[in-house]
Amino acid sequence: MTDWTDCLNFGISIAKQASEVVLLAFQQQKDVKLKSSPADLVTETDQQVEKILISAIRNKYPDHRFIGEESVAAGERLELTDSPTWIIDPIDGTVNFVHRFPFVAISIAFTVNKQTEFGVVYSCVEDKMFYAQRGKGAFVNGEPLYASGQEDVSRCVVVTEIGAERDDLSLSTMTSNIFRLLQLPVHGVRAMGTAAVDMCQVATGGADAYYHIGMHCWDIAASAIIVQEAGGVVMDTDGSDFDMMSRRVIAASSSAVANSIAHAIQAFPCRRDDED
């Protein structure tokens, strides 16, 4: 079995280096462009950081492949193969970044044979480096992470996102899902504006669950393994196995909480990430 620790350490070091570009631009005026909706934003910094990360990795590992948010937005085919693949979100929380809301992350996952070997989520403004390697636990700034283990959904803080969709069906499903959860009831519902950091809150035990429909593989691939390695559970919102391409995820402190949320919420249709 190959040990991917060197790749993990490299991922951590380039995330840290690239964060200098993010933090410098964070305070400045940005040139903002729209992608799929009026709430799906991109800046020059997103594109610049993705290029920095990909070129650094390509120099060191010329045979490895990439799935990058901005490369896909620019027309590159999104295909997860068995080859070693880096799945990159250069700035998760671009809306936060544009508004200087202080939760933005560089998210890097690494897969081999379509299985995630490690994930790195660097929450740049907070200076929190979350990472996990398959079978080796999850950490933040070197300290081990543990999910809360909570089993009773009515005692949970649940994180979710409003998302970028603005069509009537997505909006009404998303808001009625929050209503349904509050009716269970849960202790609270939160949204930090970045799926990667949201899911890492489940890994810390600060939140007990996270669910979202409509995000992409680069938003959640890294944080999914961080939650799992912290002892949490990750599944599809329909209760089936987690599939990073399905654009639906529940991350939770326990199977009981994940299943309670899966029963409570409804999904709206969205194309899979790997659909042509």
Q: CA-to-CA distance for 274 and 105, rounded, in angstroms?
A: 23
Residue 159's closest CA among 206, 195, 209?
209
Count Cβ neighbours within 10 Å for each residue of 218-250 and write b for 16 or more, e otherwise.
bbbbbbbbbbbbbbbbbbbbeeeebebbbbbbb
Q: Is 92 in the site for ligand LIP (CB under 6 A)?
A: yes
| Site pattern 197..226 for ligand LIP (x: CB under 6 A) | -----------------xxx--x-------
Q: Is 70 in the site for ligand LIP (CB under 6 A)?
A: no
For residues 92 and 208, which CB has a smaller minimum distance to ligand LIP in the complex?
Answer: 92
Active site residue 220: no
Q: Is 50 in the site for ligand LIP (CB under 6 A)?
A: no
For residues 84 and 214, which CB has a smaller minimum distance to ligand LIP in the complex?
Answer: 214
Active site residue 219: yes
Binding test (CB under 6 A) with ligand LIP, winner from 70, 117, 161, 208:
161
Interface region with ligand LIP, contact rule CB under 6 A, candidates 9-17, 89-97, 141-149, 236-244: 89-97
Q: Is 232 in the site for ligand LIP (CB under 6 A)?
A: no
Q: Is 223 helix (H, G, I), strand (E, B) or coil?
A: helix
Q: Is 94 in the site for ligand LIP (CB under 6 A)?
A: yes
Q: Which of the following is catalytic: 14, 54, 67, 91?
A: 91
Strand order in the sheet with 248-252: 188-190, 157-159, 209-213, 248-252, 233-235
Residue 72's closest CA among 56, 85, 60?
85
Number of residues that bind ligand LIP (CB under 6 A): 15
Interface region with ligand LIP, contact rule CB under 6 A, candidates 20-28, 50-58, 161-169, 179-187: 161-169
CA distances 175 to 58, 85, 88, 189, 267, Å, are 42, 35, 29, 12, 11
Q: CA-to-CA distance for 65 and 4, rounded, in angstroms?
A: 15
Q: Is 69 in the site for ligand LIP (CB under 6 A)?
A: yes
Burial class (CB in 10 A: 0-12, 13-18, 19+), 187: middle
Q: Is 194 in the site for ligand LIP (CB under 6 A)?
A: yes
Residues lying near ligand LIP in the complex (CB under 6 A) are found at 69, 89, 92-94, 161, 163-164, 193-195, 214-216, 219
